[in-house]
Amino acid sequence: MSSKAKRRYAGVDIGGTKLHCVIGDDEGRVIARARKKTKPGLGFEGVIARVCELVRDTSSEADVPLGKLAGLGCGAPSPILPDGTAVNAPNLGWKNVPIAAALKKELGLSVRVANDCDAGTYGEFAHGVARGKKSVVGLFMGTGLGGGLVIDGKVQSGGNGIAAEVGHMVVMVDGRRCGCGHRGCLEAYASKTGMARYLACQVHCEGRKTLLTELCEGDYSRLRSSVLQKAYEQNDEVAVEILNGAARYLGIGAGNLITLLAPDMVFLGGGVMEAMGETLLPLVQAGAKEVVFPAASFEHSKIVLGTLEDDAVALGALALALG
């Protein structure tokens, strides 16, 4: 066995609610994985301490001493500067925090930090459904709608490091209000936050009845993928309308990206897709087909479901840490 084949890395997905860590090798094989609550209320230093604890626990489960790890990759929900500083992570309450420097100081490892959607896209590109492709778009429908671009094998983050904000592409002029302050953003239609806001309005302003009211106990801001799935499977009229609409709009967004970039693949990930991907995929494909130009690009840029699920960000961050 060559020494290269023995190298082990850690990858961590720092999410708003949970931390997910994998220990893997340079070919993306997972040796151990573990998770822990993020507890963002502890502040930056408190969360970093939890990340370190998780990396130590996972590496001991993998039977790889910390000092033998060749590096650590980290994905975080923020634009990331080249030195590993997170510029703004609203889910964590972080602004301009030096993630890479803090982890390096605590763990003594070389650390590379990337935006979580960039890492998730790179994960599927390097080790998942898009393996072997050159240019890939990742769309993640969860609490928000995130995206990542890998073009000719490289993550594209633009001149200022914050490209691929696909959730804020406008798909409906003067459309629904988005959390960013604009109107008609894709995220206002195709994300749990957007769906929850629309749902609340349907119930409170239009007086519509839906199973979702009971399933959410009246608190639509806590709308979960499993709840949406349950109501949808029971053919609840409002749930079906909201989810089919979200899938169609996601398809319109995917279609616009295909028209612009003609990638080799578009994959769909995120919590809603992990729960309901098989059901929603044909609707997303149909939405894209409505708008893609030319039609040949729709045939080329297959829209599929991601396969790495919870591991995508951590494995992508790990792959990026290989350099």
Counting residues that bind Zn ion (by CB under 5 A) gives 5
CB nearer to Zn ion: give 107 or 252. Answer: 252
CB nearer to Zn ion: give 116 or 311. Answer: 116
The residues that bridge with 302 in the sheet, in sequence order, are 265
Residue from 109, 185, 216, 292 that binds Zn ion (CB under 5 A)?
185
Count CB atoms within 10 A of the CB of residue 150.
Answer: 26
Least distance CB 187 / Zn ion (angstroms): 5
Question: For residues 318 and 297, what is the distance between their CA atoms, to the nearest angstrom?
Answer: 32
Binding segment toward Zn ion, per CB under 5 A, in 148-156, 165-173, 231-239, 248-256 = 165-173
Asked if residue 16 lies in contact with residue 38, where contact means CB atoms within 8 angstroms, the answer is yes
First to last CA, the chain: 21
Under rule CB under 5 A, residue 248 binds Zn ion: no
Binding segment toward Zn ion, per CB under 5 A, in 96-104, 136-144, 177-185, 246-254 = 177-185
CB nearer to Zn ion: give 15 or 167. Answer: 167
Least distance CB 223 / Zn ion (angstroms): 18
Residue from 42, 151, 180, 201 that binds Zn ion (CB under 5 A)?
180
Binding segment toward Zn ion, per CB under 5 A, in 82-90, 99-107, 162-170, 212-220 = 162-170
**Site string (121-150) toward Zn ion, x via CB under 5 A:** ------------------------------
Binding segment toward Zn ion, per CB under 5 A, in 34-42, 58-66, 115-123, 183-191 = 183-191
CB nearer to Zn ion: give 84 or 144. Answer: 144
SS3 readout for the chain? CCCHHHCEEEEEEECCCEEEEEEEECCCCEEEEEEEECCHHHHHHHHHHHHHHHHHHHHHHCCCCHHHEEEEEEEECCCECCCCEEEEECCCCEEEEEHHHHHHHHHCCCEEEEEHHHHHHHHHHHHCCCCCCCCEEEEEECCCEEEEEEECCEECCCCCCCCCCHHHCECCCCCCECCCCCECEHHHCCCHHHHHHHHHHHHHCCCCCCHHHHHCCCCHHHCCHHHHHHHHHCCCHHHHHHHHHHHHHHHHHHHHHHHHHCCCEEEEECHHHHHHHHHHHHHHHHHHHHHCCCHHHHHHCEEEECCCHHHHHHHHHHHHHCC
Least distance CB 144 / Zn ion (angstroms): 9
Question: For residues 81 and 284, what is the distance between their CA atoms, to the nearest angstrom?
Answer: 33
Under rule CB under 5 A, residue 177 binds Zn ion: no
Binding segment toward Zn ion, per CB under 5 A, in 7-15, 40-48, 130-138, 166-174 = 166-174
Least distance CB 68 / Zn ion (angstroms): 44
Under rule CB under 5 A, residue 260 binds Zn ion: no
Binding segment toward Zn ion, per CB under 5 A, in 4-12, 62-70, 179-187, 296-304 = 179-187
Least distance CB 170 / Zn ion (angstroms): 8
Residue from 20, 168, 192, 248 that binds Zn ion (CB under 5 A)?
168
CB nearer to Zn ion: give 24 or 167. Answer: 167
Footprint on this chain of Zn ion (rule: CB under 5 A):
168, 178, 180, 182, 185
